């Protein structure tokens, strides 16, 4: 009989490329993963890992076993979801990924509601950009993620995931206080395309969107500086170093040196929750979606 946790360890090594990376994902030591794999080799009578430079690679036998492990782990998750659905209880553990402004603007209220209504559900939150969280949900390393896309650039959802909209969030533009258009309540985005911009990090969905949007308006983006945290972006804007896009969800205190204006056309992003199809029947998934939507009401 193949041991489920040993299969999970092998599957994680195959997915993340190394024993140490698998250990990080599984929240165990590298020694524990190595021991699981050694036991699995004895259990199967097959060599599963071979040295490859400083790392390891999977043998043909391991590759074959990983294919079966994917199906087995998927069936186990579906069985767990069905059992929870049969009980009708919101219990167990839920791992939730969310982008930065959702962590500030949605997650605290969401966790408060879940803690009050479903005290037997343990929720762990990780702050992640959608480009990071979506693959983790697809792999099974997260149960659910709060993600975003923009009205002019939809976010592709990987096969095997389901999504549901939470709400639409509006974004404004932050301008240096001495900007020629700083005294206007509404600013045409076209009038700003040649300006320097402050963006989030290059590997984020917001940076990709900003570049795409400015190029669609006929300008090659001048991304002067990159800062992942919005408070850092606003400090740079206040210093006169560029403009920034400022979502209303999770909005922080705006420095007095920064002017905020609505844009024309209005910038809107769609905020979604995504989860695996196998987990769709889990009461915890439905409860989390309900709590997220309720927490979003003040932000609309």
**CATH, residue 118:** 3.40.190.290
Tell me the whole-structure pTM to 2 decimals. Answer: 0.73
Residues 65 and 132 both lie in one domain: no
Residues 112 and 19 both lie in one domain: no
Give the residue carrying structure tokens 């769609």: 270
Using 50, 70 and 90 to split pLDDT, how confident is the model at 118?
Answer: very high
Using 50, 70 and 90 to split pLDDT, how confident is the model at 255?
Answer: very high
Gap between the Cα atoms of 229 and 235, Å rounded: 10
Domain range holding 230?
Answer: 93-300
Residues 6+ apart with CB under 8 A from 197: 210, 214, 221, 222, 223, 224, 242, 243, 244
Inter-axis angle of helices 19-26 and 30-44, to 10 degrees?
110
Nearest to 131 by CA among 67, 188, 200: 200
Residues 112 and 246 both lie in one domain: yes
- Residue 28's CATH number: 1.10.10.10
Gap between the Cα atoms of 130 and 270, Å rounded: 12
pLDDT tens digits for range 120-148: 999 999 999 998 898 889 888 899 999 99
């Amino acid at each position: 009989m193949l041991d489920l946790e040993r299969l999970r360890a092998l599957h994680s090594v195959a997915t993340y490329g190394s024993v140490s990376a698998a250990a990080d994902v599984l929240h165990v030591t590298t020694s524990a993963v190595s021991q699981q794999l050694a036991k699995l080799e004895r259990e199967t009578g097959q060599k599963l890992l071979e040295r490859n430079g400083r790392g390891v690679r999977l043998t043909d036998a391991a590759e074959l076993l990983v294919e079966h492990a994917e199906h087995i782990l998927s069936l186990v998750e579906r069985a767990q979801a069905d059992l929870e659905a049969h009980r009708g209880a919101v219990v167990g553990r839920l791992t939730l990924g969310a982008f930065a402004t959702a962590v500030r603007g949605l997650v605290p209220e969401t966790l408060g509601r879940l803690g009050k209504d479903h005290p037997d559900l343990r929720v762990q939150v990780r702050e992640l950009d959608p480009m990071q969280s979506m693959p983790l949900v697809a792999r099974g390393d997260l149960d659910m993620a709060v993600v975003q896309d923009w009205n002019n650039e939809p976010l592709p959802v990987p096969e095997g995931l389901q999504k549901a909209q939470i709400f639409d969030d509006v974004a404004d533009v932050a301008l240096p206080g001495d900007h020629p258009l700083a005294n206007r309540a509404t600013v045409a985005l076209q009038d700003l395309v040649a300006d320097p911009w402050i963006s989030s990090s290059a590997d984020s969905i917001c940076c990709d969107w900003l570049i795409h949007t400015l190029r669609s308006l006929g300008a090659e983006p001048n991304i002067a500086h990159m800062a992942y945290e919005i408070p850092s972006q606003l400090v740079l804007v206040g210093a006169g170093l560029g403009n920034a896009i400022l979502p209303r969800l999770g909005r922080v205190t705006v420095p007095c040196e920064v002017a905020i204006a609505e844009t024309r056309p209005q910038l809107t992003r769609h905020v979604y929750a995504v989860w695996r199809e196998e987990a769709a029947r889990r009461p915890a998934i439905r409860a989390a979606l309900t709590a997220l939507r309720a927490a979003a009401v003040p932000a609309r």
